[in-house]
Structure 1
Amino acid sequence: MRLGGRLAAAIEVLEDISRRHRPVADALKDWGLSHRFAGGGDRAAIGNIVYDALRHKRSAGWLLGEETPRAVGFGALLLEWNQTAQSLNAALEGDKFAPPLLTAAELQAIAERRLADAPPAVRADVPDWCEPLFEQAFGPAWVEEGAALATRPPLDIRVNTLQADRQKVLAELAETGAKAAHLAPYGIRIPPIDGDGRHPNVQAEPAFQKGWFEVQDEGSQIVAALAGAEAGMQVLDFCAGAGGKTLALSAAMGNTGQVFAHDAEKARLAPIFDRMRRSENRNVQIVTKPSELAPLTGHMDIVLVDAPCTGSGTWRRRPDAKWRLTQRQLDTRKGEQSAILEAAKAFVKPGGLLVYITCSVFDEENGEQISAFRDRNSSFAPIDHRALWDGHFPGHEAAARIGSTGDISLSPSLSGTDGFYFCALRRAN
């Protein structure tokens, strides 16, 4: 397929997403099933246009004067594919599968509009109702941070130190352009793709099958490291999900002590079993029933709460979620987070840590949750997060926001990672 056919297909997928309000992955899968003639390169390129259009929905639409699937599809190519209006029309001309060429009105809009003149929420590529949330979280830098969440993400990997070291994995992935991560000590990064490129399927690599590494955003690796799990500890991962942080904690403990992996939704834990077998994490116990949790009460050195949240910090990877999010969903998540914190505190032993993590950038899910929890629970107090950060990442003082009340925030613009929030509270003896 030429660019015109790929763009037409992307617009078709975007129309499906808009009409049926469905996740982008589902829409792309259905398009592929009904267009089996499209090769892997075509599908990757179409997916890139769709994801770019969703990341840049506001700014791409603004350039053409409307936020229709056609406009954001064309706009995505202008913003991310090094295309101009003239080069696009030239590429599409004569292609019977291409959408209609840019009209005179569209060409005029593109010629007259500069993104620098767009309203702040457009430049940040966020919904209007999220503007105050971003301004609260980032202050004067909120537009830049929103725009950073609309860029293409890298592919990050965590080396499983139980099986390999970083140099060994880098040697195995040399052909992918992989480099040592900037901050995470066991992290590896494959840079964001360009144009119609695609990331290598690292999970098909023999090194992955041998358990040498896991795919995990560098920010997720960093907050797992900050939790401070050490050999011989008793740790409860209270919202373990698929187990990414569970395995990172287990490796940090050198397969000693115990990590108890729990999730209220048992189905979320399903992938952890294969991951454990591949990675040879042997100190992980899967705990699903209340009767299995009860004996842990008051005995854990660390209770990690990777709380369910809006996922606003992951919008680079899940841009469709940005446009489906509502205030009602945010309020629902806040209620869940509060209830989970109250349940999790019971498992922290005197002198132990309650570690609260989200992949959200909204203060309502982060600092405000911690403040409300502390108002209800005076026996929990934040540790020195500046000392914690500097101890783990000396020389990178400016790579995270350290809150005045005690917390750490990561973001694409500042840290080069997904957006994450971290706060560790110590229970009084």
Structure 2
Amino acid sequence: MTPSGRIQAAADLLAAVAEEARRPADAIANDFFRARRYIGGGDRRAVSELAWGAIRQKLRLDWHLARLGVQPSARLLLIAHLVLVERWTPQKLAGHYTGDRFAPAALDRAEIELVRRLAAARLLDEAMPEGIRLNLPDWALPGLKERFGDRLAEETAAMEGAAPLDLRANLLRTSRDEARQALAAEGIAAQPTPLSPWGLRVEDRKPVSATDAFRGGLVEVQDEGSQLIALLADARPGMRVADYCAGAAGKTLAMAAAMGNRGHIVACDVSAPRLEGAGKRLRRAGVDNAERHLLQPGDKWRKRRGRSFDRVLVDAPCTGSGTWRRNPDARMRTGAQDLAELSAKQAEILEDASELVRPGGRLVYATCSLLPEEDEMQVARFLERHADFVVCPVPGLWAGLRPEVDAPDPAPMLALSPARHGTDGFFVAVMERRP
């Protein structure tokens, strides 16, 4: 594709995302490129980077367009991105907006004037409201202020960067060093992650899924923070473990490997398609101590198995605010109403899952959210209702699991963040049912 053709394709992708505002942008992009197989791998990456760059800065770009009295559109959003973020000159922009075959339509008079005024501006403007300046939606600002305090600007800046590609070595098939060597033999350089004993970090966005190491189940794609949740669950050989919101079973896989395929683990979810995908991953990884269970209304499975599990992991559905650097469109797809509904759902799931924990067993509550309403406050409300549960401070657990590495944080409950830890934003609390 020509550079102009890439710009037009990026505008088309942005338009597709805008048409389905409640659907994740990465799913829309998959459909978009599947329908345009003539776009090669290099062009796909270039188009995606343009579109995702505009989505990442959409709150600020919309503010600039609104200030100039312009109704935002996919075309104008991309123009604003090229001028304000990429710092294209009006002359360079006009050289690509030519109306030639595959190129965007030529700029009209109003657009030429808009470009002129945007070129005189800067992306960050003193007149911006605090949330826009920090690139945060208003509904999330109070919670993130409470979380980070005077580190808020540093953390929000980290959320705007690209996330690294983290892998987890599958100890059922290999060691971390052997997995690293296998990747290197296929031209992919990876370094051990600093916190997870299983993790490998690939700095460049390489096609890992096309490697023999991936297809052979030696590695799985999993953010280091997600790996630490599985680590702190401390699932051991011979235990009975439930992954209550398993999804595609990323943490099920990690815990099964920690258990050495000994004991029993149940991956539960309310979505049959997600569990079907989990089955494929379990087979590739060589996991044979796991079963899948579809949770349904009126299901008596939980009641029949009450107080019988050593570990119950609840990776609860949440706003995903900790993954905004990976999913920048989620800032706009989620709102205050979603937060309220998800908080209620999290409390319900915690209640249900806690019934499975045996006396002396542990309930591990985790989210990929940075908002206290979904994290510490949720745990506090649960503990108020359940005097038979007590928090196990993470630093003490960490000392038994990773004595050679300092704990990521001294707090009793662990909150990981992009700026401090280099991971996605994750929260985890470990609670034990009193014997």
Which residue of the partner structure matches residue 190 of structure 1?
202
Displacement of 1:365 after TM fit?
Answer: 0.9
Which residue of the partner structure matches residue 369 of structure 2?
360
Residues 133-142 or 372-381, more deviating: 133-142
Displacement of 1:243 after TM fit?
Answer: 0.8
1:166-208 deviation line (CA, Å, top 9, x unaligned): 222212222223222222111111125xxxxxx3221221111
Q: Is the 8 A contact 1:411 1:418 kept in 2?
A: yes
Q: Is the 8 A contact 1:236 1:261 kept in 2?
A: yes
Using a 3 Å threshold, how does the CA distance of structure 1 residues 92 and 186 change in structure 2: closer, same or farther? same
Q: Is the 8 A contact 2:140 2:371 kept in 1?
A: no
How many angstroms apart in 1 are the aligned matches of 2:425 and 2:96? 37
Number of aligned residue pairs: 419
Q: Is the 8 A contact 2:97 2:105 kept in 1?
A: no
Q: Is the 8 A contact 1:155 1:217 kept in 2?
A: yes
Which residue of the partner structure matches residue 238 of structure 1?
244
How many angstroms apart in 2 are the aligned matches of 1:59 and 1:170? 40
How many angstroms apart in 1 are the aligned matches of 2:242 and 2:115? 56
Displacement of 1:43 after TM fit?
Answer: 2.2
Q: Is the 8 A contact 1:60 1:71 kept in 2?
A: no
Asked if 1:313 is matched to 2:314, the reply is: no
Which residue of the partner structure matches residue 69 of structure 1?
74
Which residue of the partner structure matches residue 341 of structure 1?
350
Letter in 2 for 1:260: V
Letter in 2 for 1:12: D
Displacement of 1:33 after TM fit?
Answer: 5.3
Using a 3 Å threshold, how does the CA distance of structure 1 residues 186 and 140 change in structure 2: closer, same or farther? same
Asked if 1:377 is matched to 2:375, the reply is: no
Residues 211-220 or 280-289, more deviating: 280-289
158, 173, 196: which one pairs with 2:183? 173
Using a 3 Å threshold, how does the CA distance of structure 1 residues 302 and 26 change in structure 2: closer, same or farther? closer
Q: What percentage of aligned pairs have identical amino acids? A: 37
How many angstroms apart in 2 are the aligned matches of 1:425 and 1:153? 30
Give the alignment's TM-score, normalised by structure 1: 0.88
Using a 3 Å threshold, how does the CA distance of structure 1 residues 116 and 182 change in structure 2: closer, same or farther? farther
Using a 3 Å threshold, how does the CA distance of structure 1 residues 399 and 88 change in structure 2: closer, same or farther? farther
1:126-160 deviation line (CA, Å, top 9, x unaligned): 21222112112222222332332222111111100
How many angstroms apart in 2 are the aligned matches of 1:350 and 1:41? 55
Q: Is the 8 A contact 1:239 1:305 kept in 2?
A: yes
Which residue of the partner structure matches residue 135 of structure 2?
125
How many angstroms apart in 1 are the aligned matches of 2:32 and 2:217? 33
Asked if 1:304 is matched to 2:313, the reply is: yes
How many angstroms apart in 2 are the aligned matches of 1:79 and 1:169? 42
Using a 3 Å threshold, how does the CA distance of structure 1 residues 103 and 177 change in structure 2: closer, same or farther? farther
216, 220, 231: which one pairs with 2:226? 220
Using a 3 Å threshold, how does the CA distance of structure 1 residues 30 and 158 change in structure 2: closer, same or farther? closer
Asked if 1:45 is matched to 2:27, the reply is: no
Using a 3 Å threshold, how does the CA distance of structure 1 residues 358 and 34 change in structure 2: closer, same or farther? closer
152, 158, 161: which one pairs with 1:151? 161
How many angstroms apart in 2 are the aligned matches of 1:209 and 1:87? 47
Asked if 1:142 is matched to 2:152, the reply is: yes
Q: Which runs of 5+ in 2 are unaligned?
A: none
Which residue of the partner structure matches residue 195 of structure 1?
none
How many angstroms apart in 2 are the aligned matches of 1:219 and 1:87? 44
Give the alignment's TM-score, normalised by structure 2: 0.87
Asked if 1:89 is matched to 2:93, the reply is: yes
Report the 3-state secondary structure (helix = DSSP H, G, I; strand = E; otherwise coil) of the residue aligned with 2:383. Answer: helix
How many angstroms apart in 2 are the aligned matches of 1:24 and 1:12? 13
Letter in 2 for 1:422: V
Residues 226-235 or 352-361, more deviating: 226-235
Using a 3 Å threshold, how does the CA distance of structure 1 residues 398 and 147 change in structure 2: closer, same or farther? farther
Q: Is the 8 A contact 1:240 1:262 kept in 2?
A: yes
197, 208, 217: which one pairs with 1:211? 217
Residues 84-93 or 297-306, more deviating: 84-93
1:247-293 deviation line (CA, Å, top 9, x unaligned): 10011111112112212333321112221221111211223364544
Asked if 1:386 is matched to 2:395, the reply is: yes
Letter in 2 for 1:315: W
**RMSD, aligned α-carbons:** 2.7
1:324-378 deviation line (CA, Å, top 9, x unaligned): 1122221111111111111111111111111101111111111111011011111
How many angstroms apart in 1 are the aligned matches of 2:303 and 2:208? 39
Displacement of 1:2 after TM fit?
Answer: 2.4
Displacement of 1:323 after TM fit?
Answer: 0.6
Q: Which runs of 5+ in 1 are unaligned?
A: 193-198
